[in-house]
Amino acid sequence: MKILVVFTGGTIGSSVTDGIADVDVGASKTLIEIYKNRTDIEFECISPFNILSENSTCETLSEICSFMLSIEFEKYDGVIITHGSDTLSFTSALLGLVLSWVRIPIVITAADYVLTIPESNGWDNFKASVDFIKGFSDATHSNTGVFTIWKNHGENVKVYISTRLNEADGYLDSFSGWGGVPFGTMENGSFKRADSEINPLHTEPCEKTAFLKNRDIRFKNDILLIQSYVGLDFDSVDIKEKSAVLLKLYHSATACTQGRNTSFLKFAERCFENGTDVYVYSAKKSEYIYKSAEEFKFRDIVPMYNINTSSAYSKLLLSYATGDKGIICRNLFYESLE
């Protein structure tokens, strides 16, 4: 079994000096050492860049996507990407969309503490990533595409469909799955699917983004993400040089539509006058909608249904970078729970 390991930095690839944690490519490579006596696994390692993930930008997203699109996947049984946890959900979602056509498992994983701290989950996360790929190689599961693997404190290691990973809880450092459940867990080295109606029986490749293979993608910082909150002053939002605005709605799929500078509808009109497209998420399809949300329908506001923050933002990044607006309304890799 041959696995490509792509080191990009983050806590899992950091060491501590004088109380300061920073990236250290040598730290990442200790993960491979525990397999040095295994003759059934061959690792090929590469590091396109080495950063703390909070320093990720549209330029680094462009770099990792372009790098991954250049890989000859048929040479490997799987790929593991080590990453930082802060922006793990964003990179996971974007790569899930970009690489939905790949016919082997690609796993993104991270760590809560540097590997020299005994409590670090990095070792368990990496081992589970190897085991998940081994399960595919041994045909004990047939899941292809991009997945994120993470162990919350006191729990089994969980496997998430990458486009359904929510951002971590800021207090517990725990990740969760969009829709309330992970795709599955790793138990005794084997993948066990979570029995839920929102989970596919197994993931399958989607050819809708196969046109991106070997393509050099350049994301522009032209998508503005805004979160609804009480008193949000839309007049203070600068939309110059923005191609699109994406508003996170309240959980009932609503936003404020009243007030001089707090009305989303007035803000949307200003966006349209500026030539800026307007999107909202997560919209819902239900037996009834609130009056405020009903007003969206009479304007050119585009709803994105049953999708989390990272995937909604990633779909717009990808759509505007490639010029393919059809990406927005297609379900590329299980990101929408419609």
Q: How confident is the model at residue 286 (pLDDT cuts 50, 70, 90)?
A: confident
- What does the pLDDT look like over 206-217, one tens digit per residue? 999 999 999 999
Nearest 5°: the CA angle 164, 214, 328 is 40
Which residue(s) pair with 244 in the sheet? 223, 277
Lowest mean pLDDT among 36-40, 71-75, 162-166, 310-314: 36-40
Give the containing element (helix H, strand E) for 270. helix 264-274
Task: Give the pLDDT score at 294.
Answer: 76
Mean pLDDT in residue range 101-109: 98
Q: How confident is the model at residue 190 (pLDDT cuts 50, 70, 90)?
A: very high
Mean pLDDT in residue range 25-33: 84
Q: How confident is the model at residue 42 (pLDDT cuts 50, 70, 90)?
A: very high
| Cβ atoms 136, 142 nearer than 8 A | yes
pLDDT at 21 over 90: no
Task: Give the pLDDT score at 97.
Answer: 98
| Cβ atoms 212, 245 nearer than 8 A | no
Task: Give the pLDDT score at 17.
Answer: 84
| Cβ atoms 22, 63 nearer than 8 A | no
Share of the chain above pLDDT 70, in %: 100
Lowest mean pLDDT among 57-71, 119-133, 241-255, 297-311: 297-311
Q: Which of 53, 118, 93 is nearest to 312 (CA)?
A: 93
| Cβ atoms 183, 159 nearer than 8 A | yes
Task: Give the pLDDT score at 284.
Answer: 83
Mean pLDDT in residue range 316-338: 94
pTM for this structure?
0.95
In terms of C-beta density within 10 A (0-12 exposed, 13-18 middle, 19 or more buried), how is residue 156 classed? Answer: middle
Q: In whole angstroms, what is the distance from residue 141 CA to residue 205 CA? A: 14
- What does the pLDDT look like over 116-173, one tens digit per residue? 999 999 999 999 999 999 999 999 999 999 999 999 999 999 999 999 999 999 999 9
Average pLDDT along the chain? 94
Q: How confident is the model at residue 23 (pLDDT cuts 50, 70, 90)?
A: confident
Task: Give the pLDDT score at 298.
Answer: 66
pLDDT at 267 over 80: yes
Share of the chain above pLDDT 90, in %: 86
